[in-house]
Amino acid sequence: MEEKKMTFEQALGRLEEIVALLEKGDAPLDQSLELYEEGAALVRRCNAALEQAERRVTVLLKNEEGTVTEQVFEAGIADET
- For residues 55 and 62, is the Cβ–Cβ distance under 8 A? no
CATH number at residue 46: 1.10.287
pLDDT of residue 70: 66
Domain encompassing residue 52: 3-61
For 37-79, give the DSSP string. Answer: HHHHHHHHHHHHHHHHHHHHHHHHHB-TTSPBPP----TT---
pLDDT of residue 67: 76
Per the domain annotation, does 81 fall within a domain? no
CA distances from 34 to 24, 31, 58, 68, 73 (A): 15, 5, 36, 42, 38
pLDDT of residue 2: 64
- Give 27's DSSP letter: S
Tally of domains in the chain: 1
pLDDT in tens, the chain (81 residues): 666 789 999 999 999 999 999 999 999 999 999 999 999 999 999 999 999 988 888 877 777 677 766 666 665 544 443
pTM of the predicted model as reported, rounded to 2 decimal places: 0.69
